Structure 1
Amino acid sequence: MLYCLLAFILGLMVGSFLNVCIYRIPKGESIVWPPSHCPECGGRIEPYDNIPVLSYLILRGKCRNCGERISLRYPLVELLTGILTLGVVCKFGLSFDSLYFLILVYYLIIVSFIDLETMEVPVKLSYFALNFGLFLSFLSKSQTFKEAVFGASFGAGVILFIIETYYVLTGKEGMGYGDANIMAVVGAFLGWKKVLLTLFSASFIGALVGIFLIILNKRSKELPVPFGPFLAIGALISLFFGDEIINFYLRGTGL
């Protein structure tokens, strides 16, 4: 359908802006000024060189001004954002809930890539996303304000309990407090049931990836692994397939 194509194109354009956020937020820079520029030479990127994905291919992944390599992260984020935008619009249609859940999706993309690069989760961004999740729930058909508040509290509380319990038992820090911020946002948008599904999915996928990297000798058991991207994957699984997974589980257990 036409609106699906438009959703994908819109997602590509939003992805270009998310790249700006991923690069600038950890540096404490404005996400609106100055205009897009090469991180190496500082040369301004003209509009015709800033077309999502296409410009990267035309320029063969290099800056037109200085010839330095452009990170593959840029087209990947644009494509990912386009695909996920398309997925949300196809699932929820042309509705307020599509806009509501796209806020969550875009937040997850930003924090995932920032966490991968810096091992940190931006607090202010999480705070703004949390408030969007809480107060826009009044207009959502999928989530009530009461469910959003309880989901946010439950999401953060579970992670904080895990952090403190792990520290008491081992004397070491495990998950970071930024993960609690992520789960507060996830809970606000998706509710407490999908908080549990998100944590289960994230832990399962994270364990598989960790084992795989250890087998390949790519990572020591002692080196920290950013858990934010796995929480994001778990949240996306909950968003797109959560109702079906939970209903399947409840039917299987007879609850």
Structure 2
Amino acid sequence: MWVDFILRICLILTLIYLAWVDFHRFLIPNRFTYPMIVFGLIFNSFSPLAWCDAYLAWLGAIFGYSLLWIINQLYKQIRSQHGLGMGDAKLLAAFGAWLGIHSALWILALAALSGTIGGLLWLKYQKLPPSHPFPFGPFLAFAGIIQILWSSPLVHSLI
């Protein structure tokens, strides 16, 4: 139980840091996302404490990255510029690696909803046009933290 709790806290602290960096620099560093993907896949493939089945972790990592990569490519074809950074795709892949494909899809849905609302409010507050970019990583991190907490055995024991 303690190992699970410590892993979740470490992931949450990492996500808070990544959200802060992305908010200020429009960048999610690979030196964090690559290890998150690798350790999530190793953890769920070999640990007796796995948070999801290994095949769901692998599908989550592959699908998480691929989906945002495809969306970015489609956006680039239409608008002739990138719509997402690939750090966002790697972060979603990390969520898939740790929590599985189902959780990655919920995280993306919640991040898209909160990102739409939060992004529009942020642009309005900053007096920027709707076409101005804003970081998506903080919204992915927010949604991921909710899913990490929601799937915790500690939370389930309190409910």
What TM-score, normalized to structure 1?
0.54
1:212 deviates by 1.9
What is the DSSP-based 3-state SS (H/G/I as helix, E as strand, rest coil) of the residue aligned with 1:115? helix
Give the structure 1 partner of residue 157 of structure 2.
Answer: none
User: Which amino acid in the other structure matches residue 106 of structure 1?
Assistant: L
What is the DSSP-based 3-state SS (H/G/I as helix, E as strand, rest coil) of the residue aligned with 2:127? coil
1:157 to 66, 70, 84: 66
Give the structure 2 partner of residue 212 of structure 1.
Answer: 121
User: Which amino acid in the other structure matches residue 117 of structure 1?
Assistant: H
Alignment RMSD? 1.9
- How far apart, in 2, do the equivalents of 1:131 and 1:219 lie? 38
Q: Which has the higher contact order (CA 8 A, sep 6+)?
A: 2
Give the structure 2 partner of residue 130 of structure 1.
Answer: 37
Kindly indicate which of the two structures has a greater share of residues assigned to helix: 2
C-alpha change, 1:98 and 1:116, in structure 2 (3 Å) is same
What is the aligned-residue identity percentage?
29
- How far apart, in 2, do the equivalents of 1:217 and 1:188 lie? 35
C-alpha change, 1:147 and 1:223, in structure 2 (3 Å) is same
User: Which amino acid in the other structure matches residue 103 of structure 1?
Assistant: C
Unmatched segments (≥5 aa) in structure 1: 1-93, 244-255
2:137 to 224, 228, 233: 228
C-alpha change, 1:146 and 1:211, in structure 2 (3 Å) is same
1:217 deviates by 5.1
1:242 deviates by 6.0
Larger Rg: 1
Number of residue equivalences: 150
CA contact (8 A) 2:21 2:28 kept: yes
2:57 to 118, 124, 148: 148
1:200 to 103, 109, 112: 109
What TM-score, normalized to structure 2?
0.84
User: Which amino acid in the other structure matches residue 121 of structure 2?
Assistant: F
- How far apart, in 2, do the equivalents of 1:128 and 1:217 lie? 34
User: Which amino acid in the other structure matches residue 145 of structure 1?
Assistant: A
